[in-house]
Structures are given as structure tokens and as C-alpha cells.
Structure 1
Amino acid sequence: MSKRKVDEDSDIDVSSTDESDVENTPQDAEEEEIVDVDFDYFDLNPEVDFHATKTFLRQLLGDDATQFDISGLADLILTENSVGTTIKTEGQEGDPFALLSVIDATTNASKPSVKGLLDYFLEKTQKSTEFNMILRKLLDPKKTTKDNSKQLRVGLVISERMINMPVEVVPPMYKMLLQEMENAENAHEKYEFDYFLVLSKIYRMVDAEVESDEKQPQKKLKSKAEPGADLDYFHYEDIVLEANSRYHAHYEYTRKLQETDSRRVFTEYGIDPLLSLILLDKKGLEKSAVEMEEKFPPF
């Protein structure tokens, strides 16, 4: 089911980079081809979105993805009557360019695919003592309120997209997610979460190794550029989520299957992806959805 269209006149510059461009005149450069792309929002489609959902999960979990039941997690995300949105350009049967959904981490905590992921989060947050303690309490199957009257529920937010998708497509997805959870059949039983744990990733800029210009090309030297020690975001909406979070932290992936320098593309630095975990209460997520619309308005 199509939900809404972003912008019928959204422009994407697809200028070529082959040798023929070198001979282009300034006038030719001004006449670069522009392609109009329509982004449509759709409900999750289990018959079409399974493989793309697995790919998005692998992207989020980085080099550690191989230790999880990715197929099991994708099945949960695409379960019938689940809430969430994909963005496509070729209709409902097309491949998703972005996905946002939520898994009931409390109800599904004992399922192997979810348990493996939650255990991983608890392991990663061990050095963040307070964050780890609150996660353990929230994920405890016993009643977790102060008066032990009920068990607090946690929704695991899965949000990922292709790297060239603009952040401006994200605010409507969060707005629709909140609306769907509120209006869903049996919403009180299925989607009344007290907290939301957002799985994401960031990256750290590091010195890239470059080939020496001297007689030994096989030897690598450190770049003379200043090291980029700062962190930056793959998902710029995380800036808003972190600002409204109860806890957030970044962690090294356990495995490193790809060298930092091999990730370097047209820059003097390499990048090291890091796991990002953001815990918000319900009001924090609702506030974030509003602030995202203000910070990243539609095209």
C-alpha cells in the first residue's frame, strides 16, 4: 500500500565522470542531465522486501552481522500486521531504498534471533555501567516498574537506508511509525512501548595509509594530514535522537573484516564504522519526530 509521495520534482545530479567530461565546455557543464526521481512510501511487503531487509540489517551490524540470525530478524520485521515503512521508486514490487520498523524486544526476547542481538547489546554496554544496568532491568522478563506493577516494554527500532538517500526522507517515516503504532489493531497490546532502543551506526575518521612515492611502492606511509579523530554520522537524524535520549553510546564492532584504508574513497582519511545504541522513552521519541521535521524539512 502506497502511503505518500515525497516530492515529484526531487532532482538527483547524475553527471558522468568518464574521460569525455574532461573535454566538456563550461556550457556543457551547465547542461548536465537532471533525472527526476519520485520517492514513494509503502507498507512493509513480506513477499518483496525480505532480501533487502536482510541487507539493511547487515549494514547496521557491520562486520559483526555474521554472528546473528539475520533471516530470523528479517522475518520478525516483516511479520503480518507489523508496522513500518519502506521507500521505493518503482512501486510496491520494487526494491526498498530505505526501511524503518520496530521489533517488540520484550515479547520476543526469548526468540533466538532477538536474544542473540539483545545479549550482544548487553555485552557491548558493559563499560557504560549505568546504560548497561537500565538495559538489563528493561530486558528482564520480570516486572520492572518501581512498584513491580508491570513489565516495561522495549521496542527495538530498525532504521537503515542506501547511503545516497537524503536525511530529509526520514522524518515522515518516524511520524508514520508513531501514528501506525497508535492506530494499529490491538495497539495497546502490541505497540504500547515505554522505551525505544535505536540500533544505528556512526563512523570515526582515522589516518589513511597511502602509498609512498619513492622507489618502494609496496611500503605504506601514514598520511601527513591531521588525523580526523572526530566522530560523524551515517544517519544525521541520530543527532536529534541522541539529544532526546536517556542514554546513548558508541562501541567498536567485535570483528574487523575490512581494513580501515580499504574504506577510503577520494579522501585522505579512512573510516572506522562504530555501533551506535540510543535509548529513548516514549516522549523522547515523539519529541524527536517533531524536531526532525523542523531540522530536516522536505525538499
Structure 2
Amino acid sequence: MGKKRTRDAEAQDNDPTVDKMDQDSDSDDDDMDIVNVDFELFNYDRDIDFHGVKTLLRQLFDADAQLFDLSGLSDLIIEQNTIGSTCKVDDKANDAYAILTVLNVGEHRSKKPIAQLIEYLGDRAQAAGSGLAESVPELLASDKAVVGLVLGERLINMPAEVIPPMWSMMIDEIEDAVEDKEPYEFTHYLVVSRAYYEVASSLDERKQKKAREESRLLYFHPEDEEMRKHAAAAGSYAFTKEAESVADSKRAFQEMGVKSQGFMMLIEAAKFDGAVKAIAEYVGSAA
């Protein structure tokens, strides 16, 4: 990783040390075309990032995206521009290929997007079980716990190697914010993500039930499998609007035998740094 990005947005724009992750490949094979792509991390920019952030949030919440004020949530994320990152290619003015941020649930609980998420995640935690049902609703409603809601998503087929620097950068930014007496001293982190089951293709309905019973949970974000080892509780849940989803992309998933699920992990603050270091090692060893 490069040097830590400045928390001042204007200074960052002129800072040549902004984090850059290079995917460089060398090959002597004349038959192969090599494309070198530079992924860069940027602070959120209200003049550029609204539509890109909203699009990735819609992907993150899948069939249930319609339940939320995604415009308001996108604005909250962008306004908090010194915490979290966008990952882009070529230029800051482009749409984000990946996003990551953390929002203080208590600080924003009176705002519509967070109030919606508190109700939704509490309900889905009940459906997920696995320890989430006992802890998440209580923590989200508590005035004593300080819950950081972690939202991150990326385009499908983005290389996993770009993700650990985003997590490490966010930890650094949280530490700086706490030093500046800003409200980011969390007791818990609730990470919202996505997963899926492999099921029989919808083209062969007779095998669907048996395949669902035999399949295991898989992850759209491979690092989630490692991060959940550090979680106090974790589990998947069905989307409430799944039956109403008729988008072509959903139909294609079903036809290929992929059943999307919501997925969340509750991580105690004391274990969060270790979880981030673990996923960096995991992604590095899998590369």
C-alpha cells in the first residue's frame, strides 16, 4: 500500500501519493493480450459519485433495494467523505467500480435511510438466526452500543486484491476521526453483504428443493468467508421482495441455479482490526 490518504479532500486531489493498486502482468507469450489496469482510491465527491454509489447500493440490497431511500442513503455516504473510499479506474471523474464506508447508526438513526435500515436489518437478523436474532435488534436499538454499519459493494468480476486496501484505509480513517473527537468510536460493526446458494436450475424445477437442501452458502465477496471467522454472529437471510423480482438479471441467476441471499456479520470492535488483517492475508494467499 501507498501512504495514507489525507482526510482533506482538496489536498488529496493534488496529492500524488494517493493509494494506487496496480494489476501489472508480465508475459513472454506473444499469443496473450495483457491489459494493465490501475485501480485508485478516492474520497467520495458529491459532484461525481451519487449515481455510482446508488447503483452499487441497489446491487448490494438486491431484490429488497426498493424498500429503501437509496438516494438519501447515497447522500449520507457521500457527505461523510473522509470515511471510506471509492475505487475507480483511470480518473476520479469516472463512476466507482467499488465502494466501502461505515455509518454511525446512533448518530443518524432519526434520518429516514438509517431508520429504514434499522427496521429492516433487525427483522432480517431474526430471520437469519445464528446468534444474530439475539444481538442485532437489541444493539441497533441501544443507546449504549455504538454500531458502525458497514456497506461495501463492487462490480461483479472485480479482482478481490483491490478490496483489502480499502478496508485498511478505512480503519486508518476511523482512527484519525476518533483522534479528532468525531463519532466513530464503535463498539460493534455490522457488515452487510451478499451471498448465494447453488440450486438446481429453474429450468429443472424437480431438482430445486433437493439441491437447495444439499447446497452450502457461497459468497459473492470471497473475503467474507474469512471475515466471518472473526464475527460474534453471522448468517444469511432471504430477501423479502424476492418473489416480486422479475428483472432480467434475477431471471438469469435463477436459470443458472444461483439463489441470492442477504448476508450480515456482527463483529466486536476489538476484533475488527484482526478481521481486516486476516482478509488481506487470505486474499493474498488465494491470488
Q: Which moved more, 1:110-119 or 1:250-259?
A: 250-259
- Which one-letter code corresponds to 1:227 in the other structure? A
- Which one-letter code corresponds to 1:238 in the other structure? D
* Separation in structure 2 between the aligned mates of residue 221 and residue 241 of structure 1, nearest angstrom: 34
Alpha-carbon distance, 1:30 to partner: 6.2
**2:138 equivalent in structure 1:** 137
The list of structure 1 runs, each at least 4 consecutive aligned residues, that deviate by more than 3 angstroms after superposition, is 185-189, 220-224, 258-261
Alpha-carbon distance, 1:209 to partner: 3.4
* Separation in structure 1 between the aligned mates of residue 79 and residue 226 of structure 2, nearest angstrom: 29
**1:227 equivalent in structure 2:** 211
- Percent sequence identity is 32
SS of 1:117's equivalent in the other structure is helix
**C-alpha contact 2:124 2:237 (8 A) present in aligned 1:** yes
Rg larger for: 1
1:150-172 deviation per Cα after TM superposition (whole angstroms, max 9, x unaligned)? x2200100110000111111111
TM-score normalized with structure 2 length = 0.83
Residue 126 to residue 107, structure 1, CA distance change in 2 (3 Å): same
* Separation in structure 2 between the aligned mates of residue 10 and residue 105 of structure 1, nearest angstrom: 42
1 or 2, which has the higher helix percentage? 2
Alignment counterpart, residue 252 of structure 2, candidates 251, 263, 268: 263
**1:64 equivalent in structure 2:** 64
* Separation in structure 1 between the aligned mates of residue 138 and residue 89 of structure 2, nearest angstrom: 42
**1:4 equivalent in structure 2:** 19
Size of the alignment, in residue pairs? 262
- Which one-letter code corresponds to 2:233 in the other structure? Y
* Separation in structure 2 between the aligned mates of residue 54 and residue 36 of structure 1, nearest angstrom: 28
**C-alpha contact 2:104 2:184 (8 A) present in aligned 1:** yes
Alignment counterpart, residue 179 of structure 1, candidates 172, 175, 179: 172
SS of 2:194's equivalent in the other structure is strand
Residue 80 to residue 244, structure 1, CA distance change in 2 (3 Å): closer
**C-alpha contact 1:6 1:40 (8 A) present in aligned 2:** yes
* Separation in structure 2 between the aligned mates of residue 291 and residue 171 of structure 1, nearest angstrom: 9
* Separation in structure 2 between the aligned mates of residue 80 and residue 262 of structure 1, nearest angstrom: 36
TM-score normalized with structure 1 length = 0.80
* Separation in structure 2 between the aligned mates of residue 243 and residue 185 of structure 1, nearest angstrom: 26
**C-alpha contact 2:164 2:276 (8 A) present in aligned 1:** yes
Alignment counterpart, residue 160 of structure 1, candidates 133, 153, 160: 153
**C-alpha contact 2:122 2:140 (8 A) present in aligned 1:** no
**C-alpha contact 1:157 1:196 (8 A) present in aligned 2:** yes
Q: Where do residues 1-299 of structure 1 align in structure 2 (5 Å cutoff)?
A: 1=12, 3-7=18-22, 9=24, 31-127=31-127, 128=129, 130-142=131-143, 151-184=144-177, 187-210=180-203, 222=206, 227=211, 229-256=215-242, 257-258=245-246, 262-264=251-253, 269-297=256-284
Alpha-carbon distance, 1:36 to partner: 1.2
Please give the root-mean-square deviation of Cα atoms over the aligned residues, in Å: 2.6
SS of 1:184's equivalent in the other structure is helix
* Separation in structure 2 between the aligned mates of residue 261 and residue 293 of structure 1, nearest angstrom: 31
Q: Any gaps of 5 or more consecutive residues in structure 2?
A: 1-11
Q: Any gaps of 5 or more consecutive residues in structure 1?
A: 12-28, 143-150, 211-219
SS of 1:279's equivalent in the other structure is strand
* Separation in structure 2 between the aligned mates of residue 110 and residue 129 of structure 1, nearest angstrom: 28
1:232-267 deviation per Cα after TM superposition (whole angstroms, max 9, x unaligned)? 1100111122100011110000112138982249xx
Alpha-carbon distance, 1:139 to partner: 2.0
* Separation in structure 1 between the aligned mates of residue 142 and residue 110 of structure 2, nearest angstrom: 9
**C-alpha contact 1:262 1:270 (8 A) present in aligned 2:** no
